[in-house]
Structure 1
Amino acid sequence: MSTWQIHWFFSRIIQLSTSIARRNGIRTEIVNPYKTSKICSTCGKEGSRKSKKFKCTHHLCKLQLDSDLNAARNIGNVNRKCYPVQL
């Protein structure tokens, strides 16, 4: 497959999935995937990634997870708001 075909195909997938989501009342947004598999989805610190495994290097977190799952969680967390807990 040539480069233009790959870009066209990717663009078409985005168009169709966005259209289906909107028809069903689901909001969609394009998210930049930069570093999503290298940042810990639990604590937000940068960890290490070897092959398909992500390891958080923060001394309190130490999360170990599949790097694709970690990236998916980070993409899902993009628009979540954090509210301080009042005690």
Structure 2
Amino acid sequence: MTKNHCLAKHIADAAWSKLITITSYKAEWAGKRVEFVNPCNTSQMCSGCGQIVKKELSERIHSCPYCGLVLDRDHNAAMNILRLGLQSLQNSGRCQSLQ
């Protein structure tokens, strides 16, 4: 169905919406919460020094020329997303253990 260009975007949007709904429900059930962050530049930004290191989608290794950090691109993005989520909680005052 996603090969039909008229329906593909709607199907993909519904899948992401369902993932968010299920993840939020399971987190609430476990006494946790889901914090949403803007994923913009999370794989381009160095998780070590914060500099933007431009790379093509085919490049799977993050190698920072500024601080020398070398790790998998997805791992780098995950570390940036975690940092952004924790900052969001700390800035809103919802996470007392981070202060």
Q: How many residue pairs end up in the alignment?
A: 79
Aligned-partner Cα distance in 2 for 1:55–1:32: 22
The two structures, once aligned, show a CA RMSD in angstroms of: 1.4
Residue in 2 that maps onto 1:55: 63
Give the aligned residue type for 1:25: G
Residue in 2 that maps onto 1:37: 43
Q: What TM-score do you get using the length of structure 2 for normalisation? A: 0.72
Are the counterparts in 2 of residues 48 and 57 from structure 1 also a CA contact under 8 Å?
Answer: no
Aligned-partner Cα distance in 1 for 2:40–2:81: 10
Q: What TM-score do you get using the length of structure 1 for normalisation? A: 0.81
Bigger shift: residues 49-58 or 1-10: 49-58
How far is the alpha carbon of 1:13 from its aligned partner? 0.5
Higher relative helix content: 2
Q: Which runs of 5+ in 2 are unaligned?
A: 3-7, 91-99
Query: Identity over the aligned pairs, expressed in percent?
Result: 33
Give the aligned residue type for 1:56: C
1:22-77 deviation digits (Å, cap 9, x = unpaired): 1101121111110000111111122243411111121xx20011111100100001
Q: Which runs of 5+ in 1 are unaligned?
A: 82-87
